[in-house]
Chains A and B, each alone.
Chain A
């Protein structure tokens, strides 16, 4: 019965979402309080229904109920329990349901928080969230129903894909979805604001936590995906400019722009229409990111089996979910008036530059991702747009952003002061020059682009440190006994910006100084890599729970001292004779040692691919630090007493 209860709950949620999409909006339009009040209970019923349905599906996976078609095709009795659970969202139907769970979950959280939020804004936001939910619930029920049953039920499932049995893949999608779907709240707020014809500082203050939370989750989700690609795919890369990766990068860039522009709306009541547009676009890019790969238009490593027929439904949803708000924006956008003015040297202008550069970067990624498809449609010619294109276009824009990032935070609102700016400018220039000098002296043969990267990273680091120094000095001079002047959100900002520095160091260290050796080695051979001696001890066969391995044993020594034993392996999952390669990684602060075992035998020797990747783990550490910064900022704002929301304080 549990599966059928789940199915019914999902249907109930769908019907409720239809009510939620229509009735409260009518209520706001007519001024009918009863109809407006329906929004909260309807949201809660919808959320409960979807949650129950998801729980039922997870239960079906846990108990291996193969009478549920989805379980039969994506699970197997021999799977470890943890991968049975993660198998729930390791497929199109289940991941769509998880996506909807998060969507309605956010709406439900909104009903329980922000109690002081104006009722019409809250009602409209919930209703818009309801419309989006209705569309996706319909998509789930009518094209991708997770509760389709089989009778008679097969005795075992079909889903024993060893590559999907991986902790990275168990965590990566839910985190990424929280990010993608979190942006739906920004979207719903934006559409609600457009419907109301009013975007003010209060709006910005209510929407900000959602944007921050979504951005943090998106950051972590992308980092997890990149980390998975790094350790699982076996050739040591961490970003491939793959369409699916681009699809997750675009909403991240837009969300990053949004997180900055909403600051201006909250503080100064400017950039309103732009922020609304960004909120719509960020979620639209999320939708594109999640669903375009399921339509069979762009194929990628990360995609589920695509189905063009499903694509039509997706396209229809995208047209409605993006098209209608954009029409609304064209109509209502001009009515959103701005309330402030600013000088060239001001925080506002800094944010404007930030938004411009991030938007330009988003557009470049968008063009690079979709240009081949468009060209194919126009002329039939097929081209590839790969890393060299993005290196040539995306990287310079990000470089400019890094240069500007050093200055944005030090500038005051409206009219910045020159002394602070001068201090930061001195620090950035000195740091950059020092780094360039060190780079030239220490690393011969470094490329011009690499040198520029090193200089810019030092520039940013110097700028941030100068800002921290400047403000701390300022605080210590200010009167004691008052509220601490440096708020948690500022610490969050520093943290996130320093995360960027860490990330850049990781990317540069790995990009410029990685070393790689491919050898055919026999037991006893010693391979020299980046100052370490790696002894190939031999290969042995081992037995896992449902696989056998050839495991190579390598001893990593430096100056005779044994540092680590590396055991890369090739697994053969016996049930369906599928092979996987597991790299052995010795992670470290200074760099990773990374070994992959190839084919071979004791007579001929084995092919080994060994890498030393300096600072590579800093890439993910940097991303983590950015996310921590985001959380700090959000917590700081939550703890602060609610701001005064009268618009007239601004002038």
Chain B
């Protein structure tokens, strides 16, 4: 699902861009129009061709003749004009032929017809009407015709002329003061609505550090992603029958924007699982991403077949909503996405995005979002509530939830969110081994999520399973170290496992470095000191 999220921002943008689509290269891209090859050898014919071309509008351009335009259509029309000239057609015949194909819009010189009578006659009407008017005006103004009444009349201002106006009851200071205060208050009020007083300036010169970090991170990420992709590819070669390897390859390829590899891997996985719904949904998503974000017809077919069998598959639902959104069928998009919302956990990672999408769809369609019912399936709040129930009820409820989840996870091993939820649930049920195992799976399914690695490690330690899980833990630590070597809780965990492995000096070094970064007088720091001393 994280891939969907990443792709989505791009998707909405692209979806709108695609729909707008540019048909024509307008005049803003200047280029050479007519080419030497198009020209006719016969000078007379060629000059006729040029004259004709200047009278014909390039239909897909902004007010440009086909002679000036480098659009494809203009070139076709130039060729057509010359072809007909070679065949001996007259200028009028050529214009008539082209007009017969494209209509009057083609002609810069609008032909006289019922719809252009006004256009052509108006200038004459204006000219004749105006000319007769000024002659009339002049006659009435002839010297001697004016009796002089008008000119001798004193100017009578229609309103009281305020030249020497008296002051009214208000003192001018009072007016000015109130005015200034009112203006300031109103401006401030409006500013508080429109402005962003919380945002300072961010001139580029002050952001060098940020830019460098971003560039470095991007670089680092590109390397990591490429390495991950190479490793995933190798694993599919080593162990081609493992579906998990193919799914991991697809995920790594998606992260590295390698659409074709992703699609290939997912197609293999789909064949191996005999059309698993999750895999099919992932494939639909991959196909759409390859098409620049548009949910293509083949992708739609996949989505439809998934939803026919499992109507609550979140990825398929999400994509179905997006397809409707791209079709501008906003009410349908809204319905699908709200359904997805209702079947998802409240803390599912896509919820925030989903809320945003729903808002977008509602805004685009001009639809009021009805008050959502809060029947969103089990949330962490439900789990908390369950703790307060009596034991039997609580176990019954959680047991059922967990069984459902576990079944789902068997089918859907790369659902990080599912593993995480399962881990939590086991924890509540007091089955720390299962919890740790689920969280390790979650961490494995999201190898680039540092929090997931740390959470799993912590569970291992809390559950007291460090000895059994030593191999898993070292795997997680290796990953986490790569992602965030300086993270404090990780330093502690690394020290802990170093100690377990018997590498006391390493543990000492790690914990010391942690201690240096901690405020001195916290209970944890004291505990840590004691632990170091115990080494």
Task: Report B152-184 CB contacts with A as 1/0, cut-off 8 Å.
Answer: 110111111111011110111001100100111
Verify if A630 is at the interface (C-beta below 8 Å from B): no
- Contact residues of B between 109 and 142, Cβ < 8 Å to A: 109-110, 115-116, 118-119, 122-123, 126-127, 130-131, 133-134, 137-138, 141-142
- Whether A233 contacts B30 in the complex (CB less than 8 A), given A31-B166, A518-B36, A598-B35, comes out as yes
Is B63 within 8 A of A598, CB to CB?
A: no
Complex interface residues of chain B between 391 and 421 (CB less than 8 A to chain A): none
The answer to whether the Cβ of A418 comes within 8 Å of any Cβ in the partner chain is no
Q: For the complex, give the distance between the alpha carbons of A31 and B187 in Å.
A: 28
| B127 and A360 contacting across the interface, CB-CB below 8 Å | yes
Question: Are A607 and B103 in contact, CB atoms less than 8 angstroms apart?
Answer: no
B195 and A11 form a contact (CB under 8 A)? yes
Closest B residue, CB atoms, query A147: B195
Query: Does B32 contact A360, Cβ atoms closer than 8 Å?
Result: no
Q: How many A-B residue pairs have CB under 8 A?
A: 291
Which of B144, B145, B171, B194 has the most CB atoms of chain A within a 10 A radius of its CB? Answer: B194
Check A607–B35 contact: CB distance below 8 A: yes
Q: Which residues of A contact B143 (CB under 8 A)?
A: 341-343, 414-415
Q: Does A601 contact B (CB under 8 A)?
A: no
Q: Knowing A28-B159, A384-B105, A581-B30, say if A235 contacts B68 (CB, 8 Å).
A: yes
Evaluate contact between A63 and B104: CB separation under 8 angstroms.
Answer: no
Q: Mark A58-75, 1 if CB is under 8 A from B, else 0.
A: 001001111100000000
Is A360 a contact of B28 with CB atoms below 8 Å?
no
Binds B, one of A312-320, A375-383, A425-433, A634-642: A375-383
Q: How far is the CA of A104 from the CA of B121 in the complex (A)?
A: 42
Chain A residues numbered 586-610 whose CB sits less than 8 Å from any CB in chain B = 596-599, 607, 609
Chain B count of residues within 8 A CB distance of the other chain: 95
A335 to B: closest C-beta gap in Å: 7
Answer yes or no: A577 CB below 8 A from chain B CBs.
no
- Which residues of A lie under 8 Å from residue B148 when comparing CB positions? 651
Given contacts A375-B115, A383-B105, contact A65 B202 (CB under 8 A): yes
A349 at the interface (CB under 8 A from B): yes
A41 to B179, CA, bound (A): 11
Cα of A579 to Cα of B196 in the assembled complex, Å: 38
Known A-B contacts A29-B159, A235-B68; A16 and B172 likewise in contact (beta carbons under 8 Å): no
List of B residues within 8 angstroms of A375 by Cβ:
115-116, 119
A4-B199, A364-B123, A388-B108 in contact; A339/B138 too (CB < 8 A)?
no
Q: Is A32 an interface residue (CB 8 A)?
A: yes
Contacts of A269 in B (CB 8 A): 151
Most buried by B among A32, A77, A414: A32
Interface residue from B127, B138, B158, B183 paired with A397 (Cβ < 8 Å): B127
Chain A residues near B6 (CB, 8 Å)?
none
Docked Cα-Cα span, A196 to B137, in Å, equals 26
Contact B138 A349 (CB under 8 A): yes
Q: Is A386 part of the binding interface, using a Cβ–Cβ cutoff of 8 Å?
A: yes
Cβ contacts under 8 Å, A485 to chain B? none
Q: Determine whether the beta carbon of A155 is less than 8 Å from that of B162.
A: no
- Bound complex: CA of A371 vs CA of B116, how far in Å? 9
B200 within 8 A of A: yes
**Contact present for B144 and A341 (CB under 8 Å):** yes
The answer, yes or no, to whether A149 is at the interface (CB within 8 Å) is yes
The reply on B530 being an interface residue by CB < 8 A is no
Contact B108 A300 (CB under 8 A): no
Q: Which residues of A in the span 324-372 have a Cβ within 8 Å of any Cβ on B?
A: 332, 335, 337-344, 348-349, 352-353, 356, 359-360, 363-364, 367-368, 371
Name the A residues within 8 Å of B142 (CB-CB): 341-344
On whether the beta carbons of A33 and B172 are closer than 8 Å, the reply is yes
The interface on chain A, measured as residues whose beta carbon lies within 8 A of the other chain's beta carbons, has a size of 118
Interface segment among A116-124, A248-256, A488-496, A559-567: the answer is A116-124
The answer to whether residues A11 and B32 also contact, given A240-B63, A340-B146, A360-B127 and a CB cut-off of 8 A, is: no
Decide yes or no whether A3 CB sits under 8 A from chain B: yes
In the bound complex, residues from chain A placing their C-beta under 8 Å from that of B167 are: 32-34
Contact of A339 with B150 at beta-carbon distance under 8 Å, contacts A4-B197, A67-B201, A364-B123 already known: yes
A2 at the B interface (CB under 8 A): yes
Partner of A31, one of B31, B118, B160, B201: B160
CA A518 – CA B78 in complex, angstroms? 15
Shortest Cβ gap from B143 to chain A (Å): 5
| A13-33 interface bits toward B, Cβ cutoff 8 Å, 1 = contact, 0 = none | 011100100010001111111
Chain A residues whose C-beta falls within 8 Å of the C-beta of B531 in the assembled complex: none
Cα distance A648–B32 in the bound complex, in angstroms:
65
- A8 part of interface (Cβ distance < 8 Å): yes
- Residues of A27-83 at the interface with B, using a CB-CB cut-off of 8 Å, are 27-38, 41, 45, 60, 63-67, 77
Asked if B108 and A386 make an inter-chain contact with CB atoms under 8 angstroms apart, the answer reads: yes
Contact with A580, one of B30, B137, B155 (Cβ below 8 angstroms): B30
Closest to B193 in A: A11
A467 at the interface (CB under 8 A from B): no
Residues of B within 8 A of A11 (CB): 187, 190-191, 194-195
Q: A381-B104, A386-B57, A650-B151 are in contact. Are A598 and B32 (CB under 8 A)?
A: yes
| Minimum Cβ distance to chain B for residue A154 (Å) | 10
Q: Which residue of B lies closest to A75 (CB)?
A: B204
> Of B29, B115, B138, B205, which contacts A579 at CB under 8 A?
B29
- Is residue A399 within 8 Å, beta carbon to beta carbon, of the partner chain? no
Tell me if B255 is interfacial: C-beta within 8 Å of chain A.
no
Contacts of A28 in B (CB 8 A): 159, 162
Tell whether, in the assembled complex, residue A344 and residue B122 are in contact, meaning their CB atoms are under 8 Å apart: no
Q: Does B223 contact A (CB under 8 A)?
A: no
Question: A651–B32 contact, CB under 8 A?
Answer: no
> Once the chains bind, are A367 and B199 in contact (CB under 8 Å)?
no
Contact across chains for B190 and A15 when beta carbons are under 8 A apart: yes
A residues in contact with B126, CB < 8 Å: 360, 363-364
**A233-B30, A301-B27 known; A120 and B162 CB under 8 Å?**
yes
B42 to chain A, nearest CB (A): 15
B150 neighbours in A (Cβ, 8 Å): 337-339
Indicate if A93 sits at the interface (CB-CB under 8 A). Answer: no
Query: How far, in angstroms, from A639 to B317 measured CA to CA in the complex?
Result: 78
* A27 B108 Cβ-Cβ under 8 A: no
With contacts A8-B195, A120-B161, A359-B130 known, is A153 near B151, CB below 8 A?
A: no
Q: Is A151 an interface residue (CB 8 A)?
A: yes
Nearest CB in chain B to that of A568: its residue: B32
Q: Is the CB of A12 within 8 A of B187?
A: yes
Bound: A594/B36 CA distance, A: 17
Which among A38, A155, A383 has the greatest number of chain B C-beta atoms within 10 A? A383
Within 8 Å CB of A294, what residues of B? none
Task: Choose from A4, A368, A384 the contact partner of B106 (Cβ within 8 Å).
Answer: A384
Q: Which residue of B lies closest to A49 (CB)?
A: B187
Chain B proximity of A608: nearest CB distance (Å)? 8
Q: Is the CB of A383 within 8 A of B116?
A: yes
- Contact between A63 and B205, CB atoms less than 8 A apart: yes
User: A4-B196, A243-B63 known; A379 and B214 CB under 8 Å?
Assistant: no
The CA of A371 and the CA of B119, in the complex, are separated in Å by 7
Tell yes or no: A387 within 8 A of B by CB: yes
Cβ-based interface call for B33 (8 A): yes
A607 near B130 (CB under 8 angstroms)?
no
In the bound assembly, the distance between CA atoms of A363 and B145 in angstroms comes to 31
Contact A155/B110 with A360-B126, A360-B130, A519-B36 known, Cβ cut-off 8 Å: no
Question: In whole angstroms, how far apart are the Cα atoms of A32 and B196 in the complex?
Answer: 39
10 cross-chain pairs, A with B, having the tightest CB-CB distances, nearest first? A386-B108, A197-B158, A63-B203, A598-B32, A34-B172, A388-B109, A31-B165, A64-B204, A520-B36, A234-B30
Q: Can you list 25 A-B pairs, Cβ within 8 angstroms, ordered by A? A: A11-B190, A15-B183, A19-B179, A33-B162, A33-B165, A36-B165, A38-B175, A38-B176, A63-B201, A63-B205, A66-B204, A145-B194, A153-B207, A197-B156, A197-B158, A301-B62, A338-B141, A341-B145, A342-B141, A363-B123, A364-B123, A385-B108, A388-B108, A581-B30, A650-B151
Known: A33-B162, A37-B172. 13 other contacts (CB 8 A): A4-B195, A19-B179, A29-B159, A31-B168, A32-B170, A147-B195, A155-B211, A241-B63, A348-B141, A360-B130, A384-B105, A386-B108, A650-B151
